[in-house]
Amino acid sequence: MTDPHANAKVRVTHQMATSADALWKILGDFADLSWVPAVPRHEFVGTGVGMLRYMYLDDTYAIVERMDAIDNERRIITYSIPENNPLPVNDYVATMTVHDRGPERCELEWSCVWSTPIGMTEEEAVENLTRFYWDLMPGIERAAGLEPTS
């Protein structure tokens, strides 16, 4: 199988003091939004590949994410944003992989590809999305029962 991060335009990695299985239990469950801040309401449509999650930021506006692929054995999930993309890029596709790094140690690798930036240069889009991923890391750590380190 090819490396899902090979053509990444943004790629961040973060070591965590928890098992890969424990972190995958959270991130591999597309209906688990415990790690995403500021989502007062959510809905899910379908199950498995093709499942949609609607993350309402207010009463009417929902970001729609679609699970495009999942490999539970290798702990890889890929998703896209087909509707109401809040990010500064077109055709966003992200991949999260949880790597086992030993007893009670794992690494989250989070990457994305896109076609073109919106209203900014590619370098600015890379900076914006890198910051976005790092801003979400404390929520992932909290969901895993850890004190945020990022």
Compute and round to an integer the Cα radius of gyration of the chain: 15
Residue 133 lies in a domain: yes
Residue 121 lies in a domain: yes
Q: Which domain holds residue 96?
A: 10-29+72-143
Q: Say how many domains are in the chain.
A: 1
Residue 96 lies in a domain: yes
Residue 47 lies in a domain: no
CATH of the domain at 100: 3.30.530.20
Ordered per-residue pLDDT tens for the chain, 150 residues: 567 666 779 999 999 999 999 999 999 999 999 999 888 899 999 999 999 999 998 888 899 999 999 999 999 999 999 999 999 999 999 999 999 999 999 999 999 999 999 999 999 999 999 999 999 999 999 999 999 987
Residue 50 lies in a domain: no
Cα-Cα-Cα-Cα dihedral sign, residues 82, 87, 92, 95: negative
Coil/strand/helix, residue 135: helix
Coil/strand/helix, residue 143: helix
